[in-house]
Amino acid sequence: MRYAIIGIALSIAPAAMAQNTSGVAGPVIDPDDRAWEYRATFDPDDDGLKQRLHYQQAINGEMRWRVVGQLRDTDDSDFDADFVRAELVWQVTPDDQKYQSGFRFDARYRFDDRPADLAVHWLHQWKHIENWTLRFEAIATKQVSNGPADGVLVQTRGSATTKLAEGPKLGVEWFGSLGSTSDWRDLDEQTHEIGPVAVWGVNDNWDLSTGVLFGVTDVSPDSQLRLKLTRKY
């Protein structure tokens, strides 16, 4: 109970990278995986809110597809269409090892005449290192159409989580945007954010995740609050 109270307190504290609804993906595929997930992220500095809903389903023990739709609040509406995205995760390493690797391929269409993009995520996971699971992503994104950015955009993400014997899964997540291959940014011009996360298994079918992110550099948003609700089948 003590850890649950700490997790709730963190989830309502000020949180950081302008309404970032992203997670840190892992490469491991459960062949029976099928789930809906709702996410919401709130930025207290500008009262900005983004909400997204996705559905995912495993094709087999090596591949899983997902479709994502996201809303954002704008001057015109609190529920303005932001983007739709299709994803495919491919696990390339065998199940019976602690280190796992794979790739995620994304195609995203953004509304309001903004650039669409294609992305490749290189996924890494190290499991059961002193009861911790570590994940790392390297992401390359190419914008297309409607005034795309030059070069390939480069991002990194990572997480470290551990499951308590009686209580939630606790950990930390971090996200970084480094610039593009044609315009690599200095550190103080990059956006970086980091913060704690707690995941509760409500029952066999429902998980609740709360978290907060804090900006590390001056150009990063100061804070943001994050919520995820997952329904598994």
Per-residue pLDDT of the chain (233 residues; tens, 9 = 90+): 333 333 333 333 333 345 899 999 999 999 999 999 999 999 998 888 999 999 999 999 999 999 999 999 988 888 999 999 999 999 999 999 999 999 999 999 999 999 999 999 999 999 878 889 999 999 999 999 999 999 999 999 999 999 998 889 999 999 999 999 999 999 999 999 999 999 999 999 999 999 999 999 999 999 999 999 999 99
Copy the structure tokens of residue 102: 């794979």
Residue carrying structure tokens 């550190």: 187
Q: Quick one: pLDDT at residue 1? A: 34
Three-state DSSP class for residue 5: helix
Copy the structure tokens of residue 149: 């950015």
Q: Quick one: pLDDT at residue 128? A: 79
Alpha helices in 14-107 (DSSP H): none
> Residue 73 forms beta bridges with which residues?
none
Q: Quick one: pLDDT at residue 18? A: 59
What is the rounded distance in angstroms from the CA atom of residue 142 to the CA atom of residue 151?
7
What is the DSSP code (8-state) at residue 155?
Answer: E
With contact defined as beta carbons under 8 Å apart, do 5 and 77 qualify? no
Kindly list the structural domains of the chain, giving each domain's residue range(s) and its CATH number in brackets, ordered by start.
2-232 (2.40.160.40)
Q: Kindly report the CA angle at 22 between 106 and 16, in degrees rounded to 5?
A: 145
- The pTM assigned to this predicted structure is 0.89
With contact defined as beta carbons under 8 Å apart, do 12 and 213 qualify? no
With contact defined as beta carbons under 8 Å apart, do 215 and 190 qualify? no
Q: Quick one: pLDDT at residue 3? A: 37
What is the rounded distance in angstroms from the CA atom of residue 120 to the CA atom of residue 123?
9
Q: Kindly report the CA angle at 89 between 88 and 92, in degrees rounded to 5?
A: 140
What single letter denotes the amino acid at residue 58? A
